[in-house]
Amino acid sequence: MTAPLQDIVVIDLSRALAGPHAAMMLGDMGARVIKVESGTGDDTRGYGPPFVGPEDDPISTYFLSCNRNKESVTLDLKSEDGTDMLSRLVAAGDVLIENFRPGVLDRLGFTVQRLHELNPRLVILKISGFGEDGPEGGRAGYDQIAQGEAGLMSITGPGPDDPQRVGVPIADLLGGLHGAFGVVAALNERHLTGRGRVVRTSLLAAVVGVHAFQGTAYTVAGKVARAQGNHHPSISPYGLFECADGKLQIACGSEGLWVKFATAFGIDPATPGMATNADRVRNLPLVIETVNGVFAEYASEDLLARLAEIGIPAGRVRTMDEVYQWDQVASQHLLLGVDHPVLGEITLPGSPIRLDDNPFAGGRAEHLPPPRLGEHNASVRAWLDSLDHGDG
């Protein structure tokens, strides 16, 4: 099996989540990813609990989540040996990923100009908190700060006076997704030009870039969206409803589905205040009361079966353990087994991308476990030496 990025070498100078996630995505598609860390390692090695493994050398499950398919080398970038090693890696690489605060890499002697002097074909991905220029360019950014500043928290939560963060570091993850996409585009362009380029994104840009209809509600219609809990602001009924023994979700995303749903549950689809989607959105409390009323007669399993029978999209709200024990998740190869040097066989959430000639998620036949700090110091130096002698 040929991996799409099997000939690409990625130098991952990033830490925390956005950059490492981008690098991991490239690694999942077959790229060789060399993670460059300080002597104390990526900050996420200390994020926890939970930790697993030996008590005197605990391993962060946070770190395990974003560093599979990588090799780890430790470098002191303020030392002559460290800068020499990084120069050799840059010369041998195809992609460099960094999420230092803007200007830090320049002060270490690795400006964009210098990087391209070492390797004109190098694609450079820079991920920042709020961008490198503008009135707040260079501002430090962490995920939850970006979620708030980019408006996401104002539209998330039970109501407008109770803003909530998303339950995962979504600004970081989106930054990584956008960054990896930009890298792949730049690598494709390199086939035409023979030269690399700089790709930039930020946590701010990543969140604003997925505002979708909530963004155009303001930019076109002048409406400021606010949080309204578990019901869609523009489609109804579409949200979380109560039944006899719990809660489940339905999505009537068209008038046809509404008519089918209402008729099946004894609701007149032309009821005043509910005859059109716009009516139902404006009269959401009436819709919630009506749907909860008919659902009160059903246990969740019976209700889900009934909804499936009539073709209404529906589902339960699963806990994380239920998700990873779900046979549908397993069928999509979203569970990935790797042999960790300390922990032995462990299961990781796998790549969300499947290719047609690969029975497993991702683009490689074998996935590597997240590395121990400095685990590949010797092997990477040996590889660079072989390149110097024309053996690689």
Q: Which residues are catalytic?
A: 172
d(CA 19, CA 80): 25
- Phi and psi at residue 269, in whole multiples of 5°? -65, -20
How far does the chain reach from its first CA to its final CA, in angstroms?
22
In what side-by-side order are the strands of the sheet with 246-251?
Answer: 238-243, 246-251, 314-315
CA 286 to chain centre: 36
